Amino acid sequence: MGNSSSMLTQYDIEEVQEYCQNLFSQQEIVSLYQRFCQLDRNAKGFISADEFLSVPEFAMNPLSQRLLKMVDGLNFKDFVAFLSAFSAKASVQQKVKLIFKVYDSDGNGKVSFNDMLEVLRDLSGSFISDVQREQVLTQLLKEAGYSKDSYLTLDDFNKDYIALTPVANTCLFGHGYEGVILQIYGKAYKKLFIPVSNNLDSG
């Protein structure tokens, strides 16, 4: 694919597009490539963990270590494939699959109680105690029909999330020369998981 060159040919773009199931337009792929080259300082063909962490916004994110494991050392094609779950055109299943992968850090296809607890710890940190966290999680698992020892699979994740109709196209892309501003569907994405009682407010 010519990882060391700084120019993408039309063939390359089409290959990448196919690889990510046409979730990005060609212009988006070009912009992503510019960003990839910007992050990959020594033109090695992949971005190292250190280079990801040099983006302070990313380093400060509570989930950065988990994402780093998924994203470290990817070449450009896999980088685009990873980001494709955030595209406007990605389906709910793809987004849920990504969330599942973040939880399932050992990759065995099952999310255990401990996995969920760890992610919650990353997110809420010192704001609530470990005991409280466990209590809440156990309680909610019970309410949803699981027990503390059950393992959730991808199917469970899929069926437990109420799929609301995603909000219409909110992706902003490419301010031309300024670089990529891929507006990830924060709002739409979140709406997929809003509990029934609250959806009147954010509708």
Nearer to another protein, 23 or 71 (CB): 71
The amino acid present at 136, given as its one-letter code, is V
CB of 197 to another protein, least distance (A): 6
Among residues 5 and 132, whose Cβ is nearest to another protein?
132
Q: Can you say how many angstroms the Cα of residue 136 is from the centroid of all Cα atoms in its chain?
A: 25
Long-range Cβ pairs for the range 45-54 (8 Å, 24+): 45/3, 45/4, 45/75, 45/76, 46/3, 46/73, 46/74, 46/75, 47/71, 47/72, 47/73, 47/74, 47/79, 48/72, 48/73, 49/73
When the beta carbons of 1 and 116 are compared against another protein, the nearer one is 116
Nearest distance from C-beta of residue 189 to another protein, angstroms? 5
Instruction: For the CB of residue 201, give the shortest distance to another protein in the complex, in Å.
Output: 12
Q: Which CB atom, from 116 or from 154, has the smaller least distance to another protein?
A: 116
Looking at beta carbons only, is 12 or 86 nearer to another protein? 86
Q: What number of other Cβ atoms are within 10 A of residue 88's Cβ?
A: 20
Q: Give me the least distance between CB of 52 and another protein, in Å please.
A: 7
Least CB distance to another protein at residue 202 (A): 8
Minimum distance from CB of 182 to another protein (Å)?
5
- Of 12 and 90, nearer to another protein (C-beta) is 90
Per the CB < 8 A criterion, the answer to whether 32 and 180 are in contact is yes
